[in-house]
Amino acid sequence: MYNMIQFPQIVKLPKIPDKRGNLSFFENNNQIPFEIKRTYWIYDVPGGEARGGHAYRENEEFVVALSGSFDVVLDDGQKKTVYSLNRSYYGLYVPKMYWREMNNFSTNSLALIVSCTEYNENDYIRNYDEFCDMRKTI
Ligand code: TYD
């Protein structure tokens, strides 16, 4: 199951410039490599707070900073990479089995996240040591 690990990737989304206001979009299996089962968003994050601190066994996500900016820190069990999102026409593909934290939220930032699975607490790995052990077996 875990042997099909993909890599994180910043995706530049289409941007339709218009003097009436710009428009961007993404579609299932086009700009994002999965079918969307769930959409959620994170907002009103108090200064200095962090979200995440877990990995998913199977869930994959695509994260867009619809407003403001924040960092997504992805950890493969050996190396941490910081992805700064600050434009609404860039998104970050987050494969399964990456330890994820989101921090450095700007005031009034809005994080849109789409997922390839419905919410399932059993899909979460919330213990970092357990995550690193599982990673070693991939
Ligand atoms: P969690 O995924 O731990 O938040 P984050 O990774 O952003 O820090 O979820 C926080 C709470 O919200 C947890 O009790 C489960 C609930 N939740 C849902 O009910 N549905 C969802 O789609 C998500 C993402 C979370």
pLDDT tens, residue by residue, 50-79: 999 999 999 999 999 999 999 999 999 999
Q: Among 44, 51, 98, say which to mutate for ligand 1: greatest number of ligand atoms within 8 Å of CB.
A: 51
- For the chain, the domains span 9-136
**Does the annotation count 38 as an active-site position?**
no
Predicted confidence (pLDDT) per residue in 73-108, tens digit: 999 999 999 999 999 999 999 999 999 999 999 999
Tell how far the Cα of 55 is from the centroid of ligand 1, in angstroms: 12
* Cα–ligand 1 centroid distance for 124 (angstroms): 10
- In Å, how far from its chain's centre is CA 88? 14
CA-based end-to-end distance of the chain = 9
Query: Which residue is catalytic, options 15, 38, 51, 54?
Result: 54
132: how many CB neighbours lie within 10 A of its CB?
16
Indicate the CATH number for domain 9-136: 2.60.120.10
Average pLDDT over residues 41-48: 97
